[in-house]
Amino acid sequence: MSHPHPDLGPPPPLPAGALRIVALGGLGEIGRNMAVFEFGGRLLVVDCGVLFPEPDQPGVDLILPDFDYIRDRLDDIEAVILTHAHEDHIGAVPYLLRERPDITLVGSRLTLALIESKLTEHRIQPVKHEVVEGERHAFGPFQCEFFAVNHSIPDALAVSLRTEAGIVLHTGDFKMDQLPMDGRLTDLGGFARLGAEGVDLLMSDSTNSEVPGFVTSEREIAPVIDDVFRGAEQRIIVACFASHVHRVQQVLDAADKHGRKVAFMGRSMVRNMGVARDLGYLKVPPGLMLDAKEIEQWPPKDVVLICTGSQGEPMAALSRMANRDHPIRIAEGDTVLLASSLVPGNETAVNKVINGLTRWGARVIHKGNARVHVSGHAAAGELLYVLNLTRPSNFMPVHGEWRHLRAHARLAALTGVPEDHIVIAEDGVVVDLLDGRAKIVGAVKAGYVYVDGSSVGGVTDVALKDRRILGDEGFISIVIVVDSTTGKLTGGPEVHARGSGIDLDAFEAVIPQLEHALEEAALDGVADVQQMRRVVRRTVGRWVSDTYRRRPMIIPVVVEV
C-alpha cells in the first residue's frame, strides 16, 4: 500500500505515455476538492471547491486550493469538469476564473446553472459546456464519459478519463439510493461495463467509508417531516443546506399537504432554489410561496420558513434568530427542524444555536432526536459494491479525512486489489499512472489559501496565529520614550492592555523591573530600537507569565527623541 512520505521531493518530468494526478485539495480533509490530471502536456481539472474555516481560523471566510502548481500553466488547461454543485466542489471556481476567465466549465445542466448564478456576483461570464449522463466528449487528449450518480443534490455525475495510460474512473460524490426522489439512479450498469473493459485506476468517494451497510433512502425522511408538520402548533422553521433541492422539495410537499405557506430566507437559499425552480428540478405547488417580507402578515400556524444556518454559521439566519438578532423572533411553540448532517468540527456552534432557540421556547428537532437527515455519501456496503463492479487494477481513495481514506483502502484490499496497487495520497502528492501501475513519484506545494473579505492569500498562518493569541490572551502595549543618542529612558513606560484580564493598576509592579532592564541595556550601549523592543517584550512577558500564567501579545512602542 503506497502512502505519502514526509521527505517526498519534487516530481520528475512526466514520462511519455504516463498520466499524472495531483490533488490540490480533498485528500485528508472534507472539502476543497480539486484534482489535476496531466497527459501529453495538457491538463484537465476535476472540481474546484472550497473548505470552510475551523474555529481556530478567525476572520477567514473561505479556504481555497493553492493554484501555484498550475498558475504558470493555465493555458494548458483543457477544461474544468464539475461533478456537482456543492460548494466544496465549485466554490473556488470564481477565484480560478479570475486568473483565466475563458477556461471551459463542464457539467450538468443544474450544476452549470448554479455556478453561473454564483459567477454573476463575481461579474464573470463563464464558458460552459453542458453534458448529460451517457455522453462522451474529448477535451484535448482526455476522452471523457459521464455517468449518472445519486447524491444529495440533483444532476451529479461521475466521469471516466481515457488516455493512452489507461482508464480512470472518478466517482465524484455519490450514494446508491434505490428509490431516489428524482428517479435518477447511480449508473451501476455503466460502472460494470467500464469494469469489464478494465478500470486502471478507481478514484472513489470515501466520506462514509467507516459507516457499515447502505445509506437510508431519502424517501424515508418524508414521514418524519410529515409528523413534524402534523404536531407543530405555531411557526415551522426548517434549516438545511442551500443546495439540497430534494430536502427542500420534501418540505414544500409537506407544507402544501398541511395548508401552510412557505418563504425562503438567505441569499444563497433564494438564489439556488430560484434556479432549481426555473429549470424544473424543484416542483412548487401554485400559491404556496410567499416573499419573506410577507411572513409577519400571516398567522404563525400557517407559515414555514426555509433558511440556511444548519451548521451554526454565525451570520446565517438561524444563528441570528437564536441570538435575537433577526427580524424573525423565535416564540414559544415554534418548531425548528435542522434537516441536514452535522459537518465535523461544527458541533459546538450547532449546539449553541440549539440551546439559543430552545431558550426562547422553540422545539428543536435534529438528527440526534429524529431521522430528519440521510447522508449523500455511499456507506461501506455501497463502496464495496462499486469496487466489485469495477474491479480496478489500482485504487486511490479520495474525498475524505485520513481515517476515511484508510478505511476505504482496507475495503479495496478486501475486494482483492493488491496492497501495493492501493495509493493513499494527500494534498500535493503526485501520482503517476504508467504501464498499468499507479505510484507516488513526488510532491508539490498544496497549502491553504485564505479568503478574508476581499483579500485572497493575504492572510498567512503567522497572521492567524496572531489572531488566535489576540482572541485567547488579549494584548499589552508598552510605550516608552528614549534618547536617540544614549538610549536612556526619558518618558514612560506607559502601559495599555485589552483582553488580557489584567487590571491596569497591576502593571505598577512591573514598571520598576522594566525601567531597571532598560537602564542596564543603555549602560551596555544598547541604542538600537529593535533591541530595546526585545528588552521590553522579554521583561514584561516574563512578568506576565510568572504572575498570571498567561501569554498575551506584547507590543512595545519605542519613540526616539
Residue 452 among known ligand-binding residues: yes
From the list 377, 404, 408, 421, the catalytic residue is 377
Alpha carbon 511 to chain centroid, angstroms: 48
286 contacts: CB under 8 Å, gap ≥ 6: none
Annotated ligand binding at 155? The verdict is: no
304 has binding-site annotation: no
Does 516 qualify as catalytic in the annotation?
no
Q: Which of 205, 334, 427, 432 is catalytic?
A: 205
Q: How far is it, in rounded angstroms, from Cα 506 to Cα 550? A: 14
Using alpha carbons, select from 379, 399, 401, 334 the residue that is nearest to residue 361.
334
Sheet holding 553-560, edge to edge: 489-498, 475-482, 553-560
Binding site annotation covers 376? yes
173 is in an annotated binding site: yes
The answer to whether the annotation marks 373 as part of a ligand binding site is yes
Contact 396, 423 (CB under 8 A): yes
Is 326 marked as a binding-site residue? no
DSSP state at residue 12: P
**Do residues 452 and 60 make contact, with C-beta atoms less than 8 angstroms apart?**
yes
> Is 421 among the annotated ligand-binding positions?
no
404 annotated ligand binder: no
Distance CA 313, CA 68 (A): 30
Which residues does residue 481 pair with via DSSP β-bridges, in sequence order? 491, 559
108 marked ligand binding residue: no
The answer to whether 474 is annotated as binding is no
Q: Is 5 flagged in the annotation as binding?
A: no
Residue given cell 490533488 in the structure block: 23
List alpha helices for 21-180, DSSP H. 68-71, 87-90, 93-97, 109-121
- For residues 251 and 229, give the distance between their C-alpha atoms in angstroms, rounded to a whole number: 9
Residue 160 marked in a binding site: no
Q: Are 560 and 489 in contact (CB under 8 A)?
A: no
22 - beta bridge partners?
36, 430
Establish whether 246 is an annotated binding residue.
no
Indicate the SS3 state at residue 549: coil
- Residue 393, annotated as binding a ligand: no
For the chain, the 3-state helix, strand and coil shares in percent, each to the nearest 5, are: 35, 25, 40
Task: Clarify whether 205 is annotated catalytic.
Answer: yes
Classified as helix, coil or strand, 340 is: coil
**Kind and range of the H or E element at 188?**
helix 188-197
CA distances from 351 to 133, 299, 560 (A): 40, 29, 52
Pairing outcome for strands 127-130 and 104-107: parallel
Does the annotation place 334 within a ligand binding site? no
| Closest to 248 (Cα-Cα) out of 265, 232, 233, 231 | 265
Binding residues for Ca(2+), as ranges, are: 59, 61, 452
Binding residues for substrate, as ranges, are: 242-244, 373-377
Binding residues, as ranges, are: 59, 61, 84, 86, 88-89, 151, 173, 242-244, 373-377, 399, 452
Residues with active-site annotation = 205, 377
Binding residues for Zn(2+), as ranges, are: 84, 86, 88-89, 151, 173, 399
